[in-house]
Amino acid sequence: MSSMDEEEGSASTRREPAGGEPASPARAPETPALGFREAMEELERILARIEGEEIDIDQLAEELRRAAQLLDLCRGKIRKAEVEVTQIVQSLEEHGQDDERGPDAR
């Protein structure tokens, strides 16, 4: 086996994340550090170009692909925020119940 074959073999084994599903580079955002606000602003610019017919038909598919990536990014950030807010509220409710029982209830 050549060193190139070995590299390809090891690369293919590295592509699978811990969840067992193959990595999907097409779905990964090009700029993972992009914040929610920046992603939304870029989505709005893409939409304005499409609605304003400023976009060349040859670029349309590329723009739509980028818009889909940005939507996935935003949805993920919203889901993460929902989970965090739920955990915070549950924590506050648990602490509130402990406070209502008083120190003798423990």
Q: Which pLDDT tens digits describe the chain residue by residue (106 residues)?
A: 444 444 444 433 333 334 443 444 444 445 557 999 999 999 999 999 888 887 888 889 999 999 999 999 999 999 999 999 999 999 998 887 776 666 655 5
Quickly list DSSP for the chain: --HHHHHHHHHHHHTS-TTSSPP-TTTS-S-TT--HHHHHHHHHHHHHHHHTT-S-HHHHHHHHHHHHHHHHHHHHHHHHHHHHHHHHHHHHHHHHHHHHH-GGG-
Report the alpha-carbon distance of residue 82 to residue 78 in Å, rounded. 6
Q: So what's the pLDDT on residue 97? A: 75
- pTM recorded for the entire structure: 0.57
> How big is the chain by its Cα radius of gyration, in Å?
23
Q: So what's the pLDDT on residue 102? A: 63
Domain boundaries, the chain: 28-80
